[in-house]
Amino acid sequence: MEVFCLLLLVVVVIIAAAFVFFKWFKKPTVEDLGLHYGEKMVFDDDKCSIELPEGSVPEPLGDIFVRATNKRIIIGLGGKRKHLLKYVIYYDEKATKSSGAKGHGKKGYVSFTADPGSITYPADNIVRIEPSASAGPDVPRWLQIKTEQIGNFKEAFRA
């Protein structure tokens, strides 16, 4: 009986440790990120790509998912059901601090603020976002979203 109880205890500890490690090392997704109080969804666009300044990322970012709300732009990478969270851009309020290795926030994504006036349209299908002057070292100088749904962006950001 003692051996059975000891074995059962070991199995329970292993399962609990696996659960904790899974939660600890799980990468955040766009779907995990909830809406803030008073925040409303504006549109989703899953046919995008992103251009960043030279040296910001080792490779171009294609297969991008963009979710726009009335307070922020959320950018995720690939996936059919889940999109790995890459950028959270606040254009209506202060961003939560993002720190960590270059190009990655502490939580696995980069968040920053951008003034609504810094969202421009240099071409028919490109949205350019420039962070505010107080952006940290892990924030790119600018990023451009290439999309076929430029009308949604212009309507949401009143261009």
Q: What is the pLDDT confidence band of residue 92, given thresholds at 50, 70 and 90?
A: low
Would you state the pLDDT for residue 57?
Answer: 59
Summarize the confidence of residues 138-155 as an average pLDDT.
84
Percent of the chain with pLDDT over 70: 77
Q: Which one, of 110, 76, 120, 72, lies nearest residue 94 by Cα?
A: 72
Would you state the pLDDT for residue 107?
Answer: 65
Greatest Cα pair distance in the chain: 74
Is there a contact between 82 and 68 (Cβ–Cβ < 8 Å)?
no
d(CA 36, CA 95): 12
d(CA 79, CA 65): 9
Would you state the pLDDT for residue 134?
Answer: 65
The predicted model scores a pTM of 0.72
SS3 144: strand
Q: Which one, of 51, 114, 55, 50, lies nearest residue 77 by Cα?
A: 50
Is there a contact between 111 and 100 (Cβ–Cβ < 8 Å)?
no
Q: What is the pLDDT confidence band of residue 150, given thresholds at 50, 70 and 90?
A: confident
Which residues on neighbouring strands pair with residue 52, listed in sequence order? none
Summarize the confidence of residues 138-143 as an average pLDDT.
83
